[in-house]
A and B are shown apart, each in its own frame.
Chain A
Amino acid sequence: GAVVSQHPSWVICKSGTSVKIECRSLDFQATTMFWYRQFPKQSLMLMATSNEGSKATYEQGVEKDKFLINHASLTLSTLTVTSAHPEDSSFYICSARDRGNAWGNTIYFGEGSWLTVV
């Protein structure tokens, strides 16, 4: 079945550096992908909507200059956390909807990426 793959699953980076997380749809095309953030014991908060070939749409309160999103192709979206700080440590999850489905009702989530900033 369709799968959304995230890489890396785990990443540790030093404070002040940047880290990139990839989200790939493996066997379907996704015009739109979504990035979520989840703090421990909390819910998933939508950060932004990633649109292929155009700028991402960020939710209120999310710093677009800190969380750079690029959706260069129909199967790949990347989230780059720039100048990371310990408070950016979190679980980041992407999701994608299969655009080939007329109703868009097939949604797939990646397995998430744990980011720890030290």
Chain B
Amino acid sequence: AQSVTQPDIHITVSEGASLELRCNYSYGATPYLFWYVQSPGQGLQLLLKYFSGDTLVQGIKGFEAEFKRSQSSFNLRKPSVHWSDAAEYFCAVGGYSSASKIIFGSGTRLSIRP
């Protein structure tokens, strides 16, 4: 079955500190993986995606994620967070075909300590 687990419900980091948000997935074939960010009351913004090639993916706003097939993980990282990074972050997984549905994790809320 297709599923995504984000084990951390809420994370607080100091401004300027590094960040890693965890994501583990279950998918029966080669997965298509995403990280989205959502500010309160807003829609989704795509940070980055992975479907093939280099397992270290660069995204917008200084984020990156690394696909580790052996660990079924796709963790999101940022070397130095900014107060504006405070938001809800969602990991998602789907398949390659245009009819494949995208399933979201439960989300991780990121708070930034001044």
Contact = CB atoms under 8 A, between A and B. Distances in A.
A17 B102 CA distance: 30
A67 interface: no
Contact of B98 (A31, A42, A109): A31
B43 A46 contact: no
A41 B32 CA distance: 25
Contacts of A31: 98-99
Interface residues of A, number: 27
A111 B101 contact: no
Contacts of B100: 97, 104
A93 B46 CA distance: 14
B51 interface: yes
Contacts of A101: 98
A42 B101 CA distance: 19
Interface of A: 30-32, 34, 36, 41-46, 49, 51, 93, 95, 97-99, 101, 103-105, 107, 109-112
5 contacts: A44-B44, A46-B103, A51-B99, A103-B96, A105-B96
